[in-house]
Amino acid sequence: MANRIPIKDVIEANKCEQCTALCCSYITQEIDTPRSIYSFDTLLWQVAHQGVHVFKDSNGWFLLCQTRCQFLLPDNRCGIYERRPIICREHSHEACEFDSPIDEGCELYFQTFDELDDYCRKRFKHWDKRQAKFEVEQVRLGVW
């Protein structure tokens, strides 16, 4: 946009005009609190995919997928504004991603495989033995 307002001049009334549709560039899905090595290993697999992050905040654990809404217009406005989903209607610009990035309010935030793997190595002393443990369990259950 050629007529961007300097950040210091952004107010509630013009905040959305200055944003690059941050709230429409990802989705989150609440997930069960991971407790086991297997649960964290599954999260590790998910974070290994591009644009997939995992975070924990005061509301719980979430999978975050960076993906732009298909209805955003080139000027970052909603192309289906009058029939947009309820969740979009409920989202408020009073406290949004423009004010503070999503990772600032998180207790834990993992953007990469290595970040989550490092966390798991500290959390689980037998992290590197998980594959062998899994195979033994599969044999015990008669799956293999």
Q: Could you tell me the mean pLDDT of each successive run of 10 residues in the chain, 144 residues long?
A: 49 70 91 95 97 96 96 92 92 74 87 97 93 86 83
CB 68 within 8 A of CB 25: yes
User: For position 52, what pLDDT does the model report?
Assistant: 98
Residues 6+ apart with CB under 8 A from 75: 1
Beta bridge partners of 53: 64
Task: Please list, residue by residue across 30-60, b when 16 or more beta carbons sit within 10 angstroms of its beta carbon and e when fewer do.
Answer: ebeebeebeebbebbebbeeeebbbbbbeee
User: For position 104, what pLDDT does the model report?
Assistant: 82
Residue 20 vs residues 23, 24, 39, 63: alpha-carbon distances, Å? 9, 9, 34, 22
Joined together, the tokens standing for residue 27 give: 């989705």
What pTM does this model have? 0.78
User: For position 2, what pLDDT does the model report?
Assistant: 42
User: For position 3, what pLDDT does the model report?
Assistant: 45
User: For position 5, what pLDDT does the model report?
Assistant: 44
User: For position 17, what pLDDT does the model report?
Assistant: 75
User: For position 143, what pLDDT does the model report?
Assistant: 79
CB 29 within 8 A of CB 21: no
Strand intervals (E) in the chain = 26-31, 52-57, 60-66, 108-110
User: For position 8, what pLDDT does the model report?
Assistant: 56
